[in-house]
Amino acid sequence: MIAQTSKAFFHALARSRTLKRLASRYGMRHPGSFARRFIVGEDVDEALGAARAIQASGLMLTLDQLGESVASMAEADAATRGYLGVIDRIVASGIERNISLKLTQLGLSVDRATSVDNLRRILDAASPHQFFVRVDMEDSPVTQVTLEVFETMWQQGYRNAGIALQSYLPRSVADARRMNALGARVRIVKGAYKEPKEVAHQDKADVDAAFVEITKRLLADGNYPAIATHDPAMIDATKAFAAERGIAKEKYEFQMLYGIRRDLQNQLKADGYRVRVYVPFGREWFPYFMRRLGERPANVGFVIKGILRDR
């Protein structure tokens, strides 16, 4: 319940233009500015630098050029061209070829057909270089259409892509089953958006139980699932089920967000598990940043400290 209230509060704040202006002014100014706790930087050079360091430490990574809910096809085209540039830079840099993106960044809420074309442009550029492209899952008004676009691409033979599913949506149990039948790679997450009770579990216990249920389904019947969580209970349930079924550590991976539970990331790596870090960068960092605050209100403390220090 507290989690829901906190999410609602931060999602409301995320719509404040004043706050966005203030955060944008202070959040990324210096190497120690507060937004850098979760976002590696605003430009691709900073992202590649951070990615190299993560890779050198033995962790895997996926790069996310932040952006979502664009309001015009011109913005969607700019985001698509941005990703094409990032693909070139990743190839030239020699870091791992793995990116994550959001369909509303490519114009899904403006014109579905054009967003599909934009996704195809990215997949076509990524495929010859053996990239993996993960389609993040956004809020519930676009769940169905996101899955439809993903499945359309899959049917058209794009196999270098995977999808994310959210355990707070009861529908995800059936979606996981369908993705398993397709052979598509799934990232399971709890879900980061404020959703109404008509479509999403509201109690943490229900979200967690669904997470474990879907994780088991993905481990048993899926294709190299990604278990994306910082919750030790979810991680322990994953390890226990995999051990019970004799599922090797190479058959799945854990994923965590940049800046969160680095200790756990390193511990899992040291124990021989595969761990991928989600590395976000870009100028459009504010909504992503606010979701991270909503997940853990204690994070507000370091933001306030950072603003007071930088003023």
Ligand X SMILES: Cc1cc2nc3c(=O)[nH]c(=O)nc-3n(C[C@H](O)[C@H](O)[C@H](O)COP(=O)(O)OP(=O)(O)OC[C@H]3O[C@@H](n4cnc5c(N)ncnc54)[C@H](O)[C@@H]3O)c2cc1C
Among 54, 87, 257, 290, binds ligand X (CB under 6 A): 257
Residue 261 touches ligand X, criterion: CB under 6 A: yes
Whole-angstrom Cα distance, residue 123 to residue 61?
18
Count of residues that interact with ligand X, criterion CB under 6 A: 23
Whole-angstrom Cα distance, residue 8 to residue 12?
6
Residue 230 touches ligand X, criterion: CB under 6 A: yes
Sole window of 105-113, 115-123, 147-155, 292-300 interacting with ligand X (rule: CB under 6 A)? 292-300
Residue 132 touches ligand X, criterion: CB under 6 A: no
SS3 223: coil
| Nearest Cα to Cα of residue 20 among 295, 288, 278, 279 | 288
Minimum CB separation from ligand X for residue 194, in Å?
Answer: 11
Residue 29 touches ligand X, criterion: CB under 6 A: no
Whole-angstrom Cα distance, residue 250 to residue 182?
21
Residue 30 touches ligand X, criterion: CB under 6 A: no
Q: Which residues are part of the catalytic machinery?
A: 136, 187
Minimum CB separation from ligand X for residue 299, in Å?
Answer: 5
Among 28, 70, 228, 268, binds ligand X (CB under 6 A): 228
Sole window of 122-130, 141-149, 183-191, 244-252 interacting with ligand X (rule: CB under 6 A)? 183-191
Residue 164 touches ligand X, criterion: CB under 6 A: yes
**How far is CA 73 from each of CA 25, 118, 126, 239, 270, rounded to the nearest angstrom?**
27, 10, 22, 44, 45
**How far is CA 134 from each of CA 83, 161, 199, 202, 278, rounded to the nearest angstrom?**
13, 6, 24, 26, 11
Residue 262 touches ligand X, criterion: CB under 6 A: no
Tokens found for residue 208 = 């967690």
Minimum CB separation from ligand X for residue 74, in Å?
Answer: 25
On whether the CB atoms of residues 289 and 41 are closer than 8 A, the answer is no
Q: Where do we find the tokens 């109690």?
A: 203
Cα Rg, the chain, nearest whole Å: 19
Q: Where do we find the tokens 């074309």?
A: 117
Sole window of 13-21, 103-111, 145-153, 190-198 interacting with ligand X (rule: CB under 6 A)? 190-198
| Binding footprint of ligand X on the chain (CB under 6 A) | 136-137, 164, 166, 189-193, 228-231, 255-257, 260-261, 278, 292, 295-296, 299
